[in-house]
């Protein structure tokens, strides 16, 4: 994969565990069209104020802490995962940040995870971006597999995303 496919994004893997500015951990996202589409003219300001909490764990990826609208990030995951996957996870979580800024409820017990409107919207952004950077449908489906979604629900998610 060529660097240009990820719009000059750099993921800083040489940092310690604690809170950081988003832009200290994930550089270049302010120049990504998918991110600019989310936040418009406020992209740089929003990303410069956004916090990322790094932690070390053998499970988990990235998520939004809806109490303070920061991104939790498994340091071990970003060190070891395919850069494209981390990139897409960041896009996904930034969609949740936008949803939270709009006052939308990110975690709604009325929906199963794969049926949640906020999750589906974030997954759709990720799939569109995955296609834009040249990932095949097979690679996208592999990326979408997560530990906490069973096979039956995963198939439902793929159908909802037009990937089945």
Hey, what long-range contacts does 80-83 have (CB within 8 A, 24 or more apart)?
82/143, 83/1, 83/6, 83/11
- The total of structural domains in the chain comes to 1
Domain that holds residue 148: 3-160
The tens-digit pLDDT sequence of the chain (164 residues) is 333 457 788 887 776 668 899 999 999 999 999 999 999 999 999 999 999 998 888 778 999 999 999 999 999 999 899 999 999 999 999 999 999 999 999 988 899 999 999 999 999 999 999 999 999 999 999 999 998 899 999 999 999 999 98
């Amino acid at each position: 994969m060529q660097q240009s496919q990820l719009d000059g994004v750099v993921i800083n893997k040489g940092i310690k565990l604690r809170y950081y500015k988003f832009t200290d951990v994930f550089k270049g996202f302010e120049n990504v069209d998918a991110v600019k589409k989310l936040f418009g003219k406020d992209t740089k300001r929003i990303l410069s104020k956004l916090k990322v909490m790094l932690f070390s764990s053998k499970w988990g990826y990235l998520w939004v802490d809806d109490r303070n609208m920061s991104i939790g990030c498994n340091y071990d995951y970003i060190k070891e995962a395919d850069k494209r996957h981390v990139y897409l996870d960041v896009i996904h979580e930034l969609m949740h940040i936008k949803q939270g800024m709009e006052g939308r409820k990110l975690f709604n017990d009325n929906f199963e995870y794969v049926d949640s409107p906020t999750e589906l919207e974030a997954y759709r952004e990720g799939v569109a971006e995955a296609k834009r950077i040249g990932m095949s449908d097979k690679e996208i489906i592999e990326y979408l597999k997560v530990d906490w979604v069973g096979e039956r629900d995963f198939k439902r998610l793929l159908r909802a995303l037009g990937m089945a």
